[in-house]
A and B are shown apart, each in its own frame.
Chain A
Amino acid sequence: MRLQDVWGPFAGPNVFWETEVLAMKATWKLAWAAVAAWGFAALVEAAPVAVSDEGRRAQAPEVAVGRDGSIHVIWLDKGAVGAADRKGKKMAGMQHSHQAFASLMYARSVDGGQTFGAPVRVNHRDGEVWGFSISKASLVVDTDGQVHILYPANATSSTTGLDVASSAYTVSTDGVTFSPAMMVNTDPEDDLSELVSGGLAQAQVFGTLSAGAEGAIHAFWLDTRDMNAEDKLSSLFMRASNDGGASWGPERALFSGDACPCCQVTSTVSEKGTVYVSARKVSGEKIRTPFVAASKDGGDQFGPRVSTGGKPWQLDGCPLKLNALATSGNHLYSLVHNGAEDPPGLLFARSLDEGASFEAAHPIHPGADVSDSPSLAASGARVVAVWHAKEGGPRAVYYRVSNDHGARFGPVMRLTQGEAVVGYPEVVKLPDDGFALVWQQDERIMYQALALDDLPMDGPPMDGAP
């Protein structure tokens, strides 16, 4: 029985009925589209807030949140817009002997991200920071509200007197002033200028920080001291503090001589206290594999390195790609660029056993021409992935959300619109189980909170199964 039979005398000729059915279907689809559009529009909680000052060249933001809800943002400051002479004339006032000079700026919001205080400079000496977009500073806020920062610093070796790049640590108890920088690495005696290049005799940089319970702070960095002329690789070093950065244990190599020297280290700590660290191991014919190593004793001993997956990526070059990590319960999540993919892009993988193994990795943004600059945050079963990508147009910031520990993700969502040059997003979990983002937009740092409650979770499983 067809519907028009039920309508009986009210039914018109079939041709009209079929037209009406088509109209109904179209209306239905339009209604769904409107609902979806409303739902997606409602995801973004507030308009973006500019964190850095106008007229300054700001790059590479990082964000952390305190227990009290305070939001802390750091970024690289490369000077005033237009300070670099666009046709190569000598630049007035820029007499730094080191390359990649920058300063590190910090701003804090105590009203949930509605406003940020005036930026303050973290480094005491102007231009001290050896930083660019893929050599970021790292930021954590401990349970006491202290702000800990590790940044790559232009320095002079205490042993050779030569220019080096070192990992500098500083802490703030008031969010306004920062302690004088302490170099977490020692200065090796060898002059490796011909290997390290860039005018540096040694480099102990591309580092990160993570914070555990009861004052545990872990600093990791890539170290050139074991670099040899044949393969020019780095070692993964660490140093830990158990008293909130007041004193530090000795530095030590976790993995020697086989780390990709320019892929920034990442680290995170689970609620149970498992410390995860990730870098990229180089083996065989320049195969560069992202890995995770886990420590269940607070960072004293680390287990074997476990690949987070993807096709083997052979490259005699600098990937400059970090492996974003997030953890929740026994779950560990990874999001990392793989240049062996076609097109090259980000792969998401998850571990259900505290980093002992990873399920197969899958593209997070299958429709992108290229995707990069990953960041992850997790809370309970929810995982939020952010990155920048190109999808037939200008580069934009995208995100996806999973409500089931990364088994499935909702649709790819585009956060930024328009022609502005945007990228390098970072995501962080807020105390109320919300999430917030910072990113770089036309050389300013932007902040925006996300409200995800209405997000439909109808995406396919990450393995592409129906």
Chain B
Amino acid sequence: MNGLSRFRLAWRTGMLCLMVSGGAWASSPVALIDAEDMRAQLDGHQGEVVVLNLWATWCVPCIKEIPDLMTLESELDSRGMRLVAVSMDDPADLGAVEAFRARHFPEFRTWLRGEPDMDTLVSVVDFAWNGILPTTYLINREGQVARKIQGKWSLDEFRTAVETLLD
């Protein structure tokens, strides 16, 4: 094996490690997110279409919607869609939210609000949020809220709306 081959092997090994660690992150435990972190998260996704979903463990329509959102993400990830899910449960219930996620949706990546007041967090994207769950914001590649969806949507409804922003 020449030097170039060894370099290629090392490079591929390194990339594999990164992918594995990325996969581990994909099912990482729930973490808290405050308003500042939320801004940073969304800024980091500039140029992509973000589906920002607000849910809660006690919100039945929210729970029913999660598998569809995960499917949507897997379908449209390569085209630049990013799912950012945030549980609106209380920050003090971190352990319970993580247990819920691990039991019901182990591949689901979600944040938990780190602000004591829900509106403080949601105001990052919506000044006049009225507390409805689920609420989903479709954020275009320019970082603007293109659509606000309140209540559960079907996978087809989401797909149609998101593809419009991806095109």
Contact = CB atoms under 8 A, between A and B. Distances in A.
Interface of A: 57, 78-79, 83-88, 90-91, 94-101, 132-134, 195-200, 232, 261-262, 286, 314-321, 337, 339, 343-345, 369-370, 372, 390, 395, 421, 423, 443
A316 B130 contact: no
Contacts of B114: 84, 86
A198 B57 contact: yes
Interface string B29-65: 1111010000000000000000000001111111100
Interface string B123-150: 0000111111111000000000000001
Contacts of B13: none
A100 B60 contact: no
The 6 closest A-B pairs by CB, nearest first: A88-B31, A99-B96, A317-B151, A198-B58, A370-B128, A369-B128
B59 A262 contact: yes
B22 interface: no
Contacts of A97: 96
B92 A199 contact: no
B130 A421 contact: no
A390 B92 contact: no
A197 B90 contact: no
Contacts of A390: 127-128
Contacts of B61: 232, 316-318
A199 B100 contact: yes
B156 interface: no
A344 to B, nearest CB: 4
Contacts of A78: 90, 92, 116
A317 B54 CA distance: 11
Given A84-B92, A84-B94, A99 B57 contact: yes
B63 A197 contact: yes
Nearest to B111: A88
Interface of B: 29-32, 34, 56-63, 89-97, 99-100, 112, 114, 116-120, 127-135, 150-152
Nearest to A205: B58
A212 B106 CA distance: 50
Contacts of A200: 58
Contacts of A317: 59, 61-62, 132-135, 150-152
A84 B150 CA distance: 29
B57 A421 contact: no
Contact of B60 (A196, A314, A345): A196
Nearest to A421: B117
Given A99-B58, A318-B132, A286 B92 contact: no
Given A317-B132, A337-B130, 19 more contacts: A83-B92, A88-B30, A88-B94, A94-B95, A95-B95, A101-B96, A197-B59, A199-B96, A200-B58, A261-B60, A314-B151, A316-B152, A318-B62, A320-B131, A320-B133, A345-B130, A369-B128, A421-B117, A423-B117
B92 A101 contact: yes
B117 A100 contact: no
Contacts of B120: 421
A198 B90 contact: no
B59 A98 contact: no
Nearest to A196: B60
Contacts of A100: 58, 89-90, 93, 96
Contacts of A134: 131
A199 B99 contact: yes
A51 B151 CA distance: 36
B49 to A, nearest CB: 22
Contacts of A84: 32, 90-92, 94, 114
A132 B95 CA distance: 16
B94 A199 contact: no
B110 to A, nearest CB: 11
Contact of B94 (A85, A345, A423): A85
Nearest to A80: B92
B133 A318 contact: yes
A199 B56 CA distance: 12
Contacts of A321: 131
Contact of A339 (B29, B91, B97, B150): B150
28 contacts: A57-B116, A84-B91, A85-B94, A88-B29, A88-B30, A88-B32, A91-B94, A91-B95, A94-B95, A100-B93, A197-B58, A197-B59, A197-B60, A199-B96, A262-B59, A286-B151, A314-B151, A318-B62, A318-B133, A318-B134, A319-B132, A337-B130, A339-B132, A339-B150, A343-B128, A345-B130, A372-B131, A421-B120
A315, A317, A320 — most chain B CB neighbours (10 Å): A317
Q: Which of B60, B119, B135 has the most CB of A within 10 A?
A: B60
Contacts of B99: 199
Contact of A198 (B32, B100, B132): B100
A275 to B, nearest CB: 29
Most buried by A among B92, B127, B150: B92
B88 to A, nearest CB: 9
A197 B92 contact: no
- Which of B58, B90, B135, B150 has its CB near the most chain A CB atoms (within 10 A)? B58
A249 B114 CA distance: 43
